[in-house]
Amino acid sequence: MGTWRFIDSKMTIAENMAIDRVLLTSRSKSWAPDTLLFLEFTPCALVGYHQSIELEVEEAYCREHGIEIQRRVTGGGAIYMHEGTLGWAIYADKHSPGIPADRSEMYARMCESVALGLSKLGVNAKFRPKNDIEVNGRKISGTGGTELDGAFMYTGSLLIDFDVDTMIKCLKLPIKKLEDKQVQSFRQRVTSLREEMGYVPDLKVIKKALLDGFSEVFGVTFAAGDLNDKEMVLLAQEVNRFKSEEWIRGGRTIAQDSALKISDYKAPGGLIRIAVRLDQNRKRIKSAFITGDFFAYPERIILDLEAFLRNSSSVDSDVFENVRLFFQTQSIQIPGVNVDHMAEALCQAIASTALPDQI
């Protein structure tokens, strides 16, 4: 059996976000062994790497109630974290023994590890493709990941005693427009350890169960550890960047004019949310703003696509051709989102934008 490092972390929200970058970098440079990390949180709204805070977070409510806003290094949707949620993450070499080469299979084994750990607490948890863990059809943990130079990070959030009401208030969720019965239906789609067990187990007990789950599935043992000297230096460097508005806003800021329309397209791999500005006379895309809760590798590929589309034709056939060309000339992986999905999302956004030319 191999040995993985285990770190039990208690840090600020910015440090919690920065440590993902630190440990992923550390593993890619072989500074440290494969590592499992646990993260605890104070109230915060976390947007995915490709999302816009303006579109996903109720900023005024968060400020009024002391809920910090931050950005993850992974894709996926906006989430609310607090004392009743536990973060977990694996940082490993892609070629470590027991790590499947196929990304979908790797996702499944990670989720199965958590499900097995929860079963040791008496909770009937199962993996639900593509990347959720559920109990009797109700979500108890969402997951996602990213990678860097031969290493990957896979992370999740476990609902221990979840505050659904605050989540609804601090995030911009479509359910706010629904009727009470529909909101109640949404509540029934998620669950927590408190709801399943009737009480909240001690955090040490929960963490031990999850460690045992990963140990059995991957055939490894865990040795308690901490950040090494190189990681501590890198964390000190990174945390200031993660506290900055530049990181938190992430360049994903959209002008809040009343004329600009947002078009939502649901692909198998997640929601693609697009706003476009058009030169109607020349039939050109002046700019495209693409966000969503999908996962994309490499991280900056969506920014590159936006730049590629600038001043390109807005005619449907040309949009498909240009998106296909971009995908062909880049090394791109967006699980559950293919070329046609992205092109169709763009065409839908263009069709919904019947605006005069904007300066």
pLDDT greater than 60 at residue 354: no
pLDDT average, residue stretch 206-227: 96
Contact 75, 250 (CB under 8 A): no
Contact 79, 157 (CB under 8 A): yes
| pTM strictly above 0.85 | no
How far from the centroid of its chain's Cα atoms is residue 287's Cα? 25
Q: Shortest CA distance to 85 belongs to which of 167, 192, 172?
A: 192
**167-206 per-position pLDDT tens digit:** 888 988 755 444 555 556 667 778 999 999 999 999 999 9
pLDDT average, residue stretch 285-298: 82
Average per-residue pLDDT in the chain?
Answer: 87
Range in 129-138, 166-175, 322-331, 335-344 the model is least confident about: 166-175
**296-331 per-position pLDDT tens digit:** 877 778 878 887 888 899 999 999 999 999 988 877
pLDDT at 234: 96
Residues 6+ apart with CB under 8 A from 82: 41, 42, 43, 44, 163, 166
The percentage of residues in the chain with a pLDDT greater than 70, rounded to a whole number, is 91
State the distance between the two ends of the chain, measured CA to CA, in whole angstroms: 62
Residue 333 bridge partners (DSSP): 297
Instruction: Give all domains of the chain, ordered by start, each with its CATH number.
Output: 2-249 (3.30.930.10), 263-352 (3.30.390.50)
Backbone phi, psi, residue 149, to 5°: 45, 55
pLDDT average, residue stretch 99-104: 86
pLDDT at 23: 96
